[in-house]
Amino acid sequence: MTLSSDGQTAAAADVDVIVIGAGFGGLTATYRMRERGLDVLSFERGLDVGGTWYWNRYPGARTDSEGSFYRLNLFDDIVEPFSFKEKFPAQPEVLAYLGRVADELDLRKHYRFGVSVDAVVYDESTGRWQVRTDDGQDYTAKYVVSAVGIQSEPLVPDLPGRENFGGRIYHTAKWPADPVDLDGCRIAVIGTGSSGIQIIPQAADVASKLYVLQRTPTYSVPMVNKELTEEEQRELIESLPEIRKAVRDHPFSMPYSFSGRSALDVTDEERDAIYGEGWAKGGFRFMIESFDDIGTTKEANDTVSEWLRAKIHSIVEDPVTAAKLTPNYPYTVKRPPSGVEFFESFNKDHVELIALRESPLVSFSEKGLVLEDRELEVDVVILATGFDFVTGSLYKLNVQGRGGLPLSERWADGLSNYLSVTLHGFPNFFVLGGPLYPGGNWPTVAEEVSTYIANVIAEGEKRSAQVIETKAEVEEAWVAHVNELASQSLMAQYGKDANAYGLGANIEGKLQSVFFYLGGAQVLFDQFDHEAASGYPGFEMS
């Protein structure tokens, strides 16, 4: 084994498996592959592990899933469970957690950091994947696992004049590791999704003037975060086995119970009280524990959407600003964020909301941003403009399957795969976080999918198979089920009104299709188990 000058192990040119990514998915996949005795080489474009948590270092960044289940069971099984200090851990804590995972499991030695994968091409003559990286190196591998992340290709607005702007521009998903001084600055934040609603209150605290440029209004519920006492941390660690069980069997992989109630079966007073209790509990508990049908039927959804709209008006003092902040599409059609004092920020005198549908953004100028009807003079522009969801980062890999078919062409007219992981025509290629994945708690999904991939590969190896490939008819049947569920969803019906990224609607020209599997994460995990129990009938292993 040789060491390169940066101390990393020099990579062999031919390996059993190449893993791309070092977030929750890439780390678990790397570990699982090694555990199965495979020779694994992993690439990560960041300079260290962390994935999302390596890049998204903006002020206020924290997970909106509780640390009690935003974690890896795999890791908890091997080393003493990590105690998060806050109920909803902030970015530095999650990054430290993933760093510890990498250290304790000795995963860094598999990685080439600061390296992007540019091409992943299947060579039918050898049955191996050819992988090219941006440093001009070529590798071959029997298997490739893409764990490049679902929200990792940042969207940057195509605004002219950027080069003339005399101030600083930051994207939340490419936030510098060095401290960024925003004190006393005039700041414009573009975007009010989950990242925007986290950074806006932080920016409001330090800016001399803050403009919030909003295209589509968002619903946001309070996160209700808190620091955990040592006793609470201890209790939480003790309850991890119970939490793990609940998470495994939950559609969103969260240990929250459904109420068994319909929003339409209670009186107006009872409903208001239940929403009020949910609001006080905060986070995803508001959505999951209030009523079972708010995410599925329009009539039930109307009750929660109306309640939340009224709530915005009760928090935001200026009625004109409140009206601009109020969404008109159904709650949950866009992924519901939870934040800290987001709506309250607009009660500060120096915070101004700009509704871009009324005053469209035209360009950068030397002094700031030009709207159709005025110029905003600012020192800093923060792009909280989100991502090219799922396919953005996958397409950058330039994957070509049998016959040189690019992945982007395979999905040009419709998303398709088997259990979100494999595709006919792309043998020995596995996607962790592909289209049609269940939108549940990410570490849980990443871990279950990694384990499934490792099991499929292990089975292929046991049978001395050179090729593991999803059967075309099995993929078709699965996708028919996925599409049937999607077609009945509120997202399919109303996602366009909301610019929902889950429908590809946030990007002009992107395929408009429900990007999620809506049957529930636990159903997908059951399918994984079913494949294993019945001898992997979904695959040709030859």
Alpha helices in 7-57 (DSSP H): 24-35, 52-55
User: Which of 146, 321, 385, 400 lies at the binding interface for ligand NAP (CB under 6 A)?
Assistant: 385
H or E stretch including 96?
helix 91-104
- Work out whether 194 is an interface residue with ligand NAP (CB under 6 A): yes
- Work out whether 64 is an interface residue with ligand NAP (CB under 6 A): yes
- Work out whether 440 is an interface residue with ligand NAP (CB under 6 A): no
- Work out whether 9 is an interface residue with ligand NAP (CB under 6 A): no
- Work out whether 388 is an interface residue with ligand NAP (CB under 6 A): no
- Work out whether 371 is an interface residue with ligand NAP (CB under 6 A): no
Q: Report the C-alpha gap between 309 and 153 in whole angstroms.
A: 31
Tokens, residue 284? 């995803």
Residue in 361, 431, 375 with CA at minimum distance from that of residue 145: 431
- Work out whether 171 is an interface residue with ligand NAP (CB under 6 A): no
- Work out whether 155 is an interface residue with ligand NAP (CB under 6 A): yes
Q: Report the C-alpha gap between 100 and 76 in whole angstroms.
A: 12
Q: Report the C-alpha gap between 443 and 23 in whole angstroms.
A: 9
Q: What is the DSSP string of 354-413?
A: EETTTS-EEEE-SSEEEESS-EEE-SEEEE---B-TTHHHHHTT-EE-GGG-BHHHHTSS
Smallest distance, Å, CB 191 to ligand NAP?
3
User: Which of 121, 206, 243, 356 lies at the binding interface for ligand NAP (CB under 6 A)?
Assistant: 356
Smallest distance, Å, CB 159 to ligand NAP?
7
- Work out whether 151 is an interface residue with ligand NAP (CB under 6 A): yes
Name the one range near ligand NAP by CB under 6 A: 77-85, 385-393, 405-413, 450-458: 385-393
Site string for ligand NAP, 480-519 (x = CB under 6 A): -------------------x-x----x-------------
Name the DSSP letter for residue 45: S
Q: Taking a C-beta distance cutoff of 8 angstroms, is the pair 45, 112 a contact?
A: no
- Work out whether 191 is an interface residue with ligand NAP (CB under 6 A): yes
Q: Report the C-alpha gap between 24 and 147 in whole angstroms.
A: 9
Name the DSSP letter for residue 335: P
Smallest distance, Å, CB 524 to ligand NAP?
18
H or E stretch including 469?
strand 468-470
Smallest distance, Å, CB 513 to ligand NAP?
17
Total chain residues near ligand NAP (CB under 6 A): 26
Nearer to ligand NAP, 151 or 202 (CB): 151
Nearer to ligand NAP, 375 or 459 (CB): 375
Q: Which residue is nearest to ligand NAP (CB)?
A: 193
Name the one range near ligand NAP by CB under 6 A: 57-65, 138-146, 411-419, 446-454: 57-65
Residues 159, 329, 419, 405, Cα dihedral to 10°: -30
Nearer to ligand NAP, 64 or 469 (CB): 64
Q: Report the C-alpha gap between 470 and 539 in whole angstroms.
A: 4
User: Which of 384, 431, 449, 503 lies at the binding interface for ligand NAP (CB under 6 A)?
Assistant: 384
Tokens, residue 314? 């009760």
User: Which of 193, 368, 401, 443 lies at the binding interface for ligand NAP (CB under 6 A)?
Assistant: 193
How many Cα atoms occupy the beta-carbon half-sphere of 325 within 13 Å?
A: 28
- Work out whether 63 is an interface residue with ligand NAP (CB under 6 A): yes
Tokens, residue 3? 């060491």
- Work out whether 335 is an interface residue with ligand NAP (CB under 6 A): yes
- Residues near ligand NAP (CB under 6 A) are 62-64, 151, 155, 157, 190-196, 198, 215-216, 335, 356, 361, 384-387, 499, 501, 506
